[in-house]
A and B are shown apart, each in its own frame.
Chain A
Amino acid sequence: MSRSRFQHINYPIVLRMIAWLLLIEAFFMLVPMAISIYYGETRVAVSFGVSATITVLSGIMMTLFIKPTSQSMRKREGLLLTAVVWVFFSLFGMLPFLLSGAIDNVTDAFFETMAGFTTTGATVLTGLEHMPHGVVFWRSMMQWIGGMGIILFTLAVLPMLNVRGGVSLFNSEVTGITHEKLRPRVSQTAKQLWLMYLIFTAVMTVLLVLGDMGWFDALCYTMATVSTGGYTTSDAGLWAMHSTYINVVVMVFMFLCGINFTLIYKVVVRGNFRAVRFNDSLKWFTFVIILFSLSVFVYMNIMGFGKDVGERLELAVFDTLSSITSTGFASYKYENHGQFISLLMMTLMFFGGMAGSTSGGAKIDRMMVLIKNTRNELYRIVHSNAVTSVRVDGKSLPHELVEKVIAFLAIYVLVFVVVAVALTLMGLPIFDALFTSMSTLSNMGFGCGVTDGVGAYAALPMGAKWLLAFEMMVGRLELFTVLALFTRTFWLKD
């Protein structure tokens, strides 16, 4: 064997895994196909059928022709698989858009699909109410799959990933600083998390239907909410329904899905309420929501937004939750009243929900560590010999972890700025570029200025769409997984 400069990576096993995952995706495509058939949208149903067939065939071909000689999955294979699988899912997931004619070019279709799977919810489509039901459903469903995670789903249903490599896949897909497991085996943990997710979905759908929403809309909105994705079924969105009940239901579920699922599991299934009392990030999460809601509410009252105090309160809480959990349901055009609220929202997106939830952003847990560490640093300026520690949930964090969190936040800001600069290069105004970049990286999907409004992303130049699609993926996989692929040490031996 000749000595190669390149690291040995077991590509066949990565492709074999992807092949299996594609078969799962094809299975998911059958759901919108059924919906299309139900609504008599023959052409769309056919396009889903064809897409599913292409996906299945690709999966089978890959399984048949790629024979891994070794089953070993190590760090590199795990990282590569986790990152690449999102690209593959988007490539195949965009087929229904193209085949049904809902989107006429690859760039837009890929952007839309990536925005779906990463639960960003940015869209290039307008006239959603005239779109075929199958297409609208597929958008929401992509978010639902991507919200909890493609690999997590596979870990739950298929035993084949349940080897050593599966655990590192779990670690690279689930968000958070550390990865708490619910049960000893990763497949059990994945099953519990998906079970919770399914229960949330079922309960919320029923609640929305009780609020006089049609079951189709209810299901779509539910999937977009529990995944904190934010795709709607009409251009006007949720707010146009003028139903306080529906808004409150959505708010409650945005809040719940911004909480660490492991924590919810402990409380709901194990009845461990102590876990809540001693959870710092939940306190911070709640505190930030209250603080920002109040600020927005007070500002709205001063500036005279909306009809009355009730609507202002609803708006304030709704948008705060929508931003911090990176759901991104739009409600009101703030720009007409200055950019204060927009900037508050941008800050909230950066914060994000709790680690281990379906929300995006940098995660409130990391913010908490950053702020506590900053406080320690300031303390040490006066007491230079003091030994301090960052305490979370009553326990002090190891220094390496604090370093990792700070590195994460630094890289987060770096990516945010670099993409924003690139966007200004493509002609976006400064604030719009910054806002769009943050919104995309945090998997939020709100636009501002030129990107504001339903389908406004369609107007962006082609390069910007690809760049943003990439940024979404970086954000969803929490930077390190994707960015590691762009380092020298990943590929080269030296």
Chain B
Amino acid sequence: MKIIIAGAGEVGTHLAKMLSFEKQDIIALDPDERRLANLDNYNLMAIQGSAIAFADLKRVGIGTADLFVAVTPQETRNLLACMMAKSMGAKRTVARIDSGEFIQKNRKSFFTEAGVDSLIYPEYLAASEIVTALKHTWVRNWFEMLDGELIVVGVKLRANAAIVGRRLRDLGTISGFLHVNAIKRNRETIIPGGNDVIMENDVAYIATTREYIDRVVELCGKTRHHVQRVLIMGGNRIAAELGKLIGDKYKVKIIEGDLDRCRELADLLPYCNIVNGDASDTDIMDEEGVGDYDAFVALSDSSERNILSCVMAKELGVTKTVAEVENIQFIAEAESLNIGTIINKQLIASSRIFQTMLDSDVDNSKCLALTDAEVAELEVQEGSKVTRRMVRDLGLSTDMTIAGLVRDGVGHLVNGDTRLLPGDHVVVFCLSGSIHKIEKLFG
């Protein structure tokens, strides 16, 4: 697939690196040569040029591009670039935007007609991911299909979990409703076989269906908390979108250092309490009674500060913490520090692009990018390779596994004897660098 990425900022650079790792043909376009220099040693082509110059778009061969992704800092520039790219022959276009106004469903046809096929609003996606995290406090990651018919969760397992210390093949009856897809141990994600043992402090990625979710909570040694009070540190765009999404469902307090921004937020979010102050200041934290909150969401500009204040909040007795960590290198550290859920805009944007890659109709599929793996939902196509044999005989490579499927509106787990049928929606768990193989199997 030929993918052109306009804008080599944080998101663009990450996308370019990751997609080149997925064996796609990547061309990165940016006016700043120094930013392109970061991509020098990656297997892609970096070209200096503007996303909104006809000549430069022509130079990168826009006419033969399968996907055009505009992720420059300016929203209007991205939209314009996509319109130009589409009119010059790009098959699909994706623009990054930064206002909620554009993503409303009834505006979609306007953008499609203008030549912008899909919109990515990372801040909104991040906010919805936080909402999911607040709803399911016992998990690290939550991925559901069809309103929870099939669920894949990432859970940190402590010594009290019933499945710790057992070989996967010895799980017995449990394996009827619980399928361990992957284990993250010591910063490495593995797809386990029957002989692998689940150990304490592993993060296990478990698939299950709607009716057994309570049993899974129990087997993982977790209890569910009902979040009522949420404290948000930092009043950036994610916080604003989060406030809008939550509405009056929870009691929300936002601590923000900049007074003008506080006023804006107060205007925007009538249900939230806005406090002016520095949330990393222990006095303020004390004063606002951090310990009384069920959830703490750290969304400041500094990843380090977010990580540390989450650790602090945890010590003060907050049950669920969420940290925005923009440095990908820090994510592994943050995970080992027991921060509940980590939000990263680059990963969120990658998820959307993967979706677009796997299925041109984004609304039909979902994808969740983890640091070194992806969970993707796909529809099995008529006549595709996977429908020819039973799962055990497909000879799937060791870096992927089929977690489960939804057939006729009912979720099922998948084992070796399952035979996939066209029209099934399946969830695939695969390690980074192998998502391109999925296309061949299911397409």
Contact = CB atoms under 8 A, between A and B. Distances in A.
Interface string B1-18: 010000000000000000
A184 B2 contact: yes
Interface in B34-58: 34, 40-45
B25 A162 contact: no
Contacts of A166: 43
B33 A398 contact: yes
Contacts of A168: 41
Contacts of A185: 20, 23, 25, 43-44
A163 B25 contact: no
B43 A186 contact: yes
Interface hub of B23, B33, B42, B43 (most chain A Cβ within 10 A): B43
A167 B45 contact: no
A164 B43 contact: yes
B26 interface: yes
Nearest to A179: B40
Interface in A26-77: 75
B40 A184 contact: no
A398 B48 CA distance: 13
A181 B41 contact: no
B27 interface: yes
B6 to A, nearest CB: 14
A163 B40 contact: no
A184 B46 CA distance: 8
B43 A167 contact: yes
A387 B2 CA distance: 40
A171 interface: yes
A438 to B, nearest CB: 31
A167 B25 contact: no
A194 B40 CA distance: 22
A25 B75 CA distance: 53
B42 A181 contact: no
Contacts of B26: 184
Contacts of A188: 25
Interface residues of B, number: 14
A183 B41 contact: no
A181 B43 CA distance: 10
Contacts of B25: 183-185, 188
Of the four ranges (under 10, 10 to 19, 20 to 34, 35 or more), the interface on chain A belongs to 10 to 19
Contacts of B45: 181, 183-184
Nearest to B23: A185
A396 to B, nearest CB: 10
B43 A162 contact: yes
A118 B23 CA distance: 32
Nearest to A166: B43
B27 A184 contact: yes
A186 B25 CA distance: 10
Nearest to A162: B43
Interface in A146-183: 162-164, 166-168, 171, 181, 183
A163 B43 contact: yes
A278 to B, nearest CB: 12
Nearest to B25: A184
Nearest to B33: A398
Contacts of B2: 184
Nearest to A74: B41
B86 to A, nearest CB: 20
Contacts of A163: 43
Contact of A164 (B23, B33, B42): B42
A185 B23 CA distance: 8
A164 B41 contact: yes
Interface in B259-285: none
A167 B27 contact: no
Contact of B40 (A162, A171, A398): A171
Nearest to B26: A184
B187 to A, nearest CB: 14
A181 B27 CA distance: 10
Contacts of A398: 33-34
A164 B20 CA distance: 9
Given A184-B2, A184-B25, A184-B27, A171 B41 contact: yes
Interface string A179-215: 0010111101000000000000000000000000000
A167 B41 contact: yes
A325 B44 CA distance: 30
B44 A184 contact: yes
Contacts of B20: 184-185
A151 to B, nearest CB: 14
Contacts of A171: 40-41
Interface in B115-157: none
Interface of B: 2, 20, 23, 25-27, 33-34, 40-45
Closest 10 A/B residue pairs (Cβ): A184-B25, A184-B45, A181-B45, A168-B41, A167-B41, A167-B43, A184-B26, A186-B43, A184-B27, A184-B44
10 contacts: A164-B41, A164-B42, A164-B43, A168-B41, A171-B41, A181-B45, A184-B26, A184-B44, A185-B43, A186-B43
Given A171-B40, A181-B45, 16 more contacts: A163-B43, A164-B41, A164-B43, A167-B40, A167-B43, A168-B41, A171-B41, A183-B25, A184-B25, A184-B26, A184-B44, A185-B20, A185-B23, A185-B25, A398-B33, A398-B34
